Amino acid sequence: MKKSFVFILVTALALSVSQVCQGQAHKNVKENEANRLAREGAEAAKNQDWDKAVEMLRKASAMDHKYADELATVYQQRGFASAKNQQLQEAVQDYTEALKIEPNNVRIYEQRAAVEMKMYAYDKALADYSEASKLKPNEVRYYNYRAYIYEAKEDNQNSMAETEKALQIDPNNQEAKERKQRLERKQAEKIADPATKHPGS
């Protein structure tokens, strides 16, 4: 009875070790394939073959999540290249994909907002600059961008509010100071113009 128990125990251990070795071998094959795909993706990105780079790194990150950051970077680079070539919708899509992977990357929000401004998608740009300013609350540029957009939309009240936020961070910010003067001048003209008081007259 003792011998058969020992035999069963040794057999079970041998099977376990065999399964662990097979599992490890499968894991190594998967890692090697992910590494190969990531290397190909990196090489394609170096050659600015963005579509191939995205495809290879997407496959690599599906096998091993550690390549997700590289995939986000390639989406960002392809987005930048698309924006440069005036393929604005494609750029926005790539930045959106990059943000799915790196939702706290302030630079991607900033890049996407810049493209949205070129497309006159002001509300989307405002939302992206808001996200950027949540991540970097003391970055004066984001408040200036928002103030600019509000001014372009002729929403002087919100433009002034964003300008004041910019000046709280940097009281000597030239862009914000000039905008404040311009908005105050517009407000004074509006008050002085009797037609704006009584539009029906």
Cα 65 to its chain centre, rounded Å, is 18
- pLDDT recorded at residue 66: 83
pLDDT above 90 covers a percentage of the chain that reads 54
Q: Specify if 98 maps to a domain.
A: yes
Q: Specify if 17 maps to a domain.
A: no
Which CATH number is 47's domain given? 1.25.40.10
Total tally of structural domains belonging to the chain: 1
Q: Specify if 137 maps to a domain.
A: no
Tens-place pLDDT, residues 84-109:
999 999 999 999 999 999 999 999 99
Burial class (CB in 10 A: 0-12, 13-18, 19+), 181: exposed
Tens-place pLDDT, residues 110-161:
999 999 999 999 999 999 999 999 999 999 999 999 999 999 999 999 999 9
What is the band of 24 on the pLDDT scale with cuts at 50, 70, 90?
low
What pTM, to 2 d.p., does this model score? 0.73
Q: Specify if 56 maps to a domain.
A: yes
The residue with greater pLDDT, 175 or 54, is 175
Q: Specify if 199 maps to a domain.
A: no
Write the DSSP symbol of residue 170: -
d(CA 166, CA 191): 25
Q: How confident is the model over 65-73, as a mean pLDDT? A: 83
Q: Specify if 120 maps to a domain.
A: no
What is the band of 45 on the pLDDT scale with cuts at 50, 70, 90?
confident
